Amino acid sequence: MVTNFRPHPKPPPAPWRYRGSRLESPPRCTLTWSRIRRPAVPELHEAGSTRHQSQGMFFSVCYDSVSLHESERSMTARILDGLKIRDEIFAELKDEVRLLAAAGVRPGLAAVLVGENPASQLYVKSKIAACEQLGLSSGLLTPPESATTRELLAVVDDLNHDNNVDGILVQLPLPPQVDTKRILEAVDPSKDVDGFHPVNLGRLASGRPGLVACTPAGCMEILRRGNVPMEGANAVVLGRSDIVGKPLALLLMHANATVTICHSKTRDLPEVVRRGDIVVAAMGKPAFVEADWIKPGAAVIDVGTNTIKDPTEAERLLRNFPARLEKFRAKGSVLVGDVHPAAVNTAGALTPVPGGVGPMTITMLMSNTVKAARLRRASPAVSTSQSTASAR
């Protein structure tokens, strides 16, 4: 019995070691290569050929001897590599920063980091490092944990009036005494590089150009640059937060996908997910989306970043991924997405966690800062030579 028999235009890449499959009868079409999954073909260990019948057709399958691990043998998804896409976009942004510099403009990002939250400090540090890498100027303001809403409004106001600042980043979460919405709404929308301001959300909803939230914008870059067809595709977005699910659903709709938005009250979630040609998971629930919810061949964008520290949980999720399990044992924690790691066996393309959506968030922050500088300060001549990412 052969499952997942799909015509393939060329030999599939490693770790497959099949030499080929040949249709014997009836000769309705020519199928030269296919992917056949363990444990459906248990004799895979040995070189040779076997004869199979599927859907009334007979065909023979030739394969080489393999000594790959079970998980590697059954891996089918094309990896949508966020690190590679980040490098591509950074190269484009560097060109654009050079052009802006020639026109006397150096894009600048100001980060407001309130208090001493270690995770926030780490995020801001990475963002400033990215600015340095691209030749952007950056500034860090560090009001104390005790800062009031009024004090922070004054900080934001100063930055709004500083012409060298193109992007204002208020690192969240803010301390409980601060009215976060008021602070975010005080940011000049033309400097709102996080894309959280209601004006920018409104522009996105109405299909007007503006600054788009970084994580959803990064997911779209992955889909575009990963050549995932969006027009007419059924896209299922799991999560409806203002910073990920909602803007992403709008972006997918503008890309002509047919979008379904799911949330905690959605009924029969597995069935809804099974209809998705594109599935985006942004729930914050480790490995919640099971592999068999994913339609075979679907593209999966896993936004979730969940740290697992419980050894039993890690063993359960990663039992077929010995290398990752080894890393967990060495480090005591592992990052998993909202989609079960075994979805790599059903999806056609998938973002890994880590290394998928994660690197794209800072990348799009840089892209938004360059875009904000171009829109606010550059002459039309510079505006025509923009990078593809920051042009959007």
Catalytic center residues: 127, 171, 194
Shortest Cβ distance from residue 336 to ligand NAP (Å)?
A: 10
Question: Residues 176 to 195: which contact ligand NAP by CB under 6 A?
Answer: none
Question: Residues 237 to 256: which contact ligand NAP by CB under 6 A?
Answer: 238-241, 243-245
* CB 278, CB 231: distance < 8 Å: no
Q: Does 80 bind ligand NAP (CB under 6 A)?
A: no
* CB 71, CB 320: distance < 8 Å: yes
Per-residue DSSP letter, 8: B
Tell me which residue has its CB nearest to ligand NAP.
241
Bridge partners for 22 per DSSP: 60
What is the total residue count of the chain?
392
Which part of the chain contacts ligand NAP (CB under 6 A), choosing from 148-156, 168-176, 236-244, 322-330?
236-244
Q: Which of 305, 320, 383, 388 binds ligand NAP (CB under 6 A)?
A: 305
* CB 262, CB 249: distance < 8 Å: no
Nearer residue to ligand NAP within complex by CB, 134 or 357 = 357
Nearer residue to ligand NAP within complex by CB, 2 or 109 = 109
Which helix (H) or strand (E) element contains residue 259?
strand 258-262
Which part of the chain contacts ligand NAP (CB under 6 A), choosing from 53-61, 91-99, 260-268, 365-373?
260-268
Q: Which of 264, 333, 379, 385 binds ligand NAP (CB under 6 A)?
A: 264
- What sign does the dihedral 317-320-323-326 (CA atoms) show? positive
Count of residues of this chain found to bind ligand NAP when the rule CB under 6 A is applied: 25
Q: For the packed helices 118-134 and 358-377, what is the interaxial angle rounded to 10 degrees?
A: 60
Measured CA to CA, the distance from residue 132 to residue 92 in angstroms comes to: 15
Measured CA to CA, the distance from residue 383 to residue 367 in angstroms comes to: 14
Shortest Cβ distance from residue 241 to ligand NAP (Å)?
A: 3
What phi, psi does 356 have (nearest 5°)? -110, -95
* CB 350, CB 82: distance < 8 Å: no
Q: Which of 143, 210, 226, 304 binds ligand NAP (CB under 6 A)?
A: 304
Q: Which of 4, 258, 306, 383 binds ligand NAP (CB under 6 A)?
A: 306
Q: Which of 269, 308, 334, 347 binds ligand NAP (CB under 6 A)?
A: 269
Q: Which of 50, 258, 266, 383 binds ligand NAP (CB under 6 A)?
A: 266
Pairing type for strands 108-112 and 167-170 reads parallel
Q: Look up tokens 């067809």; give the residue.
A: 229
Nearer residue to ligand NAP within complex by CB, 105 or 269 = 269
To the nearest 10°, report the CA torsion of 155, 158, 159, 164: -150
Shortest Cβ distance from residue 367 to ligand NAP (Å)?
A: 14
- Encode burial over 318-354: b for 16+ CB neighbours within 10 A, e otherwise: bebbeebbebbeeeeebbbbbbbbbbbbbbbbbbbbe
Which part of the chain contacts ligand NAP (CB under 6 A), choosing from 29-37, 85-93, 146-154, 234-242?
234-242
Shortest Cβ distance from residue 194 to ligand NAP (Å)?
A: 11
Question: Residues 348 to 367: which contact ligand NAP by CB under 6 A?
Answer: 357-358, 361
Binding region for ligand NAP (CB under 6 A)? 215, 238-241, 243-245, 262-266, 269, 282-285, 303-306, 357-358, 361
